Chains A and B, each alone.
Chain A
């Protein structure tokens, strides 16, 4: 399957419009004002999708199978409590604690109307009819009941393309998620039809391979942090997403973050950011400076964070450089301590002169035993990424996977 940026951009916009349609229908039905949250086109491995579902919160879903113009499944997912509230607003005599036949059918109806909003959006853009099966009502706490029986749901190591949107009700805690899992073959056909004939596109397998190297880079960074701070960390979330530049800062918490930004020079060029919340950054400073200062974010603290940044940047991009058989240089770290969105918007602007969308390699590293996390955002220049991947020999990825685990001592002595 070839990924064409123009086509992906069209689908991204369309998924966002579909979310708008679905939100509008929910508003008309329940009289509650809704707002469309973030829409994402994600490339996720089965293991990552399962982790996302396994947050310990009971959920209900309304799922339909699609065929015709687009094959796959569309799933509206809501927290069980939120679904019960919606149902009690629609059906006065509905139970507020349990799904009986009546509330189940009301919830299915709501889910179905919203699913139809998304699917109508797709059908419009594709200019074809999409057939929709009878909706299924599903309850569960893990991914298994919702996705276990889907052929297109990826196995742990497979990278699947999926669309995710969020709809929130204004002034309430009711929120919905929509997932669209297209069958790969069907998605490949659709992409093919919408490809810009002048563009080269990116081979899906190469992107998946490149993402595997990012995964390896992320593991390397976790290991660097553990070695240098003594805090036992591991990679908790790994995602590759395709998003409009304007949407990227919206996803970052509106809290103060501390970290470093690097400019990447090579094929691909781009930007690489490592961000800690303030408490985690304080821990880094305290763990890496022999006599920690009172002000953790003074000169000593800044240089400790920058030094860690340098090591993490090398750890992260070495795998990419190896597999691409190229050099990727990273600039000296620029220290930042600011609002989340403000930290990333200069980078978005830097890329925005030449592109509207970006692939974002997004990682969260967490400590095993306490609140400590580090987010990594690697955002390559899109044209460079396309060039780099087209030159990529897929066999190198397989070789690199067996050889790229370089010992941590090398990093310590670097």
Chain B
């Protein structure tokens, strides 16, 4: 079928919505993108040896304590990390060479119901789970009060972060 309104060239990035995670295999040149993270957290896992990587866009910290993590592992930091790692290993990644980068987890509102910060809790939960699994965090851009849009290049393992705050421009991890 003919296509209309499309330009030849770079493919559209694959969107990773809230509570989703996407894993791409060797030789993928795709970019995985999560728009407008506020207190949500983006977790990128990458095995530089095999070139297998994935991006999760998690909403809440603790899936082990929640109902429904079985059907939606990508919703929670702990279950998303385990599910993504498992899928990467199934695709041929070596568990011991996987590295992590995380971005997001801002706390933009000081509401009473947010306690010590919903973004902060997501960051802490991800760090704890990655620590338990022995996956090193080799880059992070977390916290603060600004939103972030992230793009993960599965070809190179680079995590590019844009903040709404114009002064900081684009950061690469």
Contact = CB atoms under 8 A, between A and B. Distances in A.
Interface of A: 30-32, 85, 88-89, 169-174, 245-246, 249-250, 252, 254, 256, 261, 263, 265, 269, 271, 331, 334, 336-350, 352-353, 356
Contact of A331 (B107, B111, B119, B149): B111
B60 A352 contact: yes
B164 A342 contact: yes
A337 B108 CA distance: 10
B101 interface: no
Given A246-B18, A342-B164, A263 B111 contact: yes
A263 B114 CA distance: 10
A342 B38 contact: yes
10 contacts: A89-B1, A171-B12, A172-B5, A173-B4, A334-B108, A338-B36, A338-B108, A341-B38, A342-B147, A345-B38
B68 A352 contact: no
Describe B's contact surface by its main secondary structure. loop
Contacts of B1: 30-32, 89
B17 A346 contact: no
Given A250-B17, A349-B118, A172 B6 contact: yes
Given A334-B108, A334-B109, A343-B147, A89 B2 contact: yes
A346 B4 contact: no
B79 interface: no
A338 B38 contact: yes
Describe A's contact surface by its main secondary structure. mixed
B37 interface: yes
B146 interface: yes
Contact of B148 (A32, A245, A269, A342): A342
A88 B1 CA distance: 9
A267 B62 CA distance: 27
A349 B110 contact: no
Contact of B118 (A169, A250, A344, A350): A350
B24 interface: no
Interface centre among A245, A256, A263, A338 (most CB of B within 10 A): A338
A346 B114 contact: yes
B59 interface: yes
Contacts of A269: 113
A246 B20 CA distance: 9
A85 B4 contact: yes
Interface in B4-40: 4-6, 12, 17-19, 35-40
B112 interface: yes
Interface in B100-148: 106-114, 118-119, 122, 146-148
Contacts of B18: 245-246, 249-250, 345, 348
B4 A342 contact: no
A170 B12 contact: yes
A353 B121 CA distance: 12
Contacts of A252: 36
A9 to B, nearest CB: 11
Given A171-B6, A250-B17, A348-B18, A342 B59 contact: no
A407 to B, nearest CB: 32
A-B residue pairs, 10 tightest by C-beta: A342-B147, A341-B36, A342-B38, A339-B36, A173-B5, A345-B38, A246-B18, A171-B6, A89-B1, A338-B147
A340 B12 CA distance: 20
